[in-house]
Amino acid sequence: MTRVHTLSVRQGFLHVLVAAIAWGTGGAAGALLTRTGDLGPAAVSFWRFAIGAALLVAVRRLGRRSRSGRTDWRDAAMAGPLMAVCQVAYFAAIDETGVALATMITMGASPVLVALGGRAFLREPLGRAEVAAVGLSVAGLLLMTGGGGTFSPAGVAWALLSAAAYAATTLLAKASAGDPYGRAVGGFCAGALCLIPVAAVSGLVPSHADLPVLAYLGAVPTALAYGLFFSGLTRVGATTASVVVLLEPLVAAVIGVAALGERPAPGQIAGGVLLLATVGLLARVQIRRR
């Protein structure tokens, strides 16, 4: 992992896959923080960005081991606000429409926007496999979330804004030739700075009970996940990566069954199987092409 530019396609795909799994564990951690009521969504996002940046700098020794040797702060100036908007808009959508509908719209729209943007701005191929994968993954996501929730124009707008910010972040990372870990650190720093004014209004100081959960959020669903995702994008197409990331709600559902005793409906199981099959299809297509 120290030499990101030597990744094979198979390794890049694996990086994105592990990132999706790591992001999937963040939902349960976020739910624990929400139950305490001490921190709002903006404050939680601020701390995960700040902790994630500190961990990546400490572990990677960024200036010595990266391909470029330094963080591209111009990329960070664009990626940071986009990452902050993605987080805050998603939480705002949940407040307006509920978790299921907000997740379905945000994550369902993301691969579509990435596919269209990748074709328009990056000239990425958009063949039958990619089109089929996007359609199948959105269908699987719809089955997974069940389509419940309260319809709200404002909630839909927030969800689409979150999806657009995520798509822009992905395309920006794919187009950049800089060090992916440096991009993650710079994005975390810029995003945290953007969130300070909003987070300060609702309270920025965590309680002692929140510290272990915040540490996990900063380490696994943030530092590890974003670092691997950005490095995987150096070898995997943006559309493929955006579809693989849809495994996140599947991982969250598995955690709910294993740790919380939840019982998935038959439609949710079918959606999970469809998502796994789609990711397997994309993996074979990517490896064969390269």
> How far is residue 150 CA from its own chain's centroid?
24
Q: Distance between CA atoms of 205 and 164, rounded to whole angstroms?
A: 30
Residue that wins the pLDDT comparison between 262 and 143: 143
68 with 178: CB under 8 angstroms?
Answer: yes
SS3 28: helix
30 with 218: CB under 8 angstroms?
Answer: no
| pLDDT band at residue 71 using 50, 70 and 90 as cut-offs | low
Residue 183 predicted with pLDDT over 50: yes
> Which of 139, 146, 148 has its CA nearest to residue 274?
139
Note the pLDDT tens digit of each residue in 91-114.
888 878 877 778 878 888 999 999
> Which of 51, 19, 16, 17 has its CA nearest to residue 225?
19
Work out the average pLDDT over 78-82: 89
Note the pLDDT tens digit of each residue in 190-205.
999 999 998 888 788 8
| pLDDT band at residue 63 using 50, 70 and 90 as cut-offs | low
Sign for the pseudo-dihedral over CA of 247, 248, 252, 255: positive
The radius of gyration of the chain from alpha carbons, rounded to an integer in Å, stands at 18
pLDDT at residue 146, as a whole number: 67
Residue 79 predicted with pLDDT over 50: yes
Q: Distance between CA atoms of 220 and 212, rounded to whole angstroms?
A: 12
Q: Where are the alpha helices (DSSP H) in 122-152?
A: 128-145
Q: What is the mean pLDDT of the chain?
A: 83
253 with 72: CB under 8 angstroms?
Answer: no
| pLDDT band at residue 178 using 50, 70 and 90 as cut-offs | confident
pLDDT at residue 196, as a whole number: 92
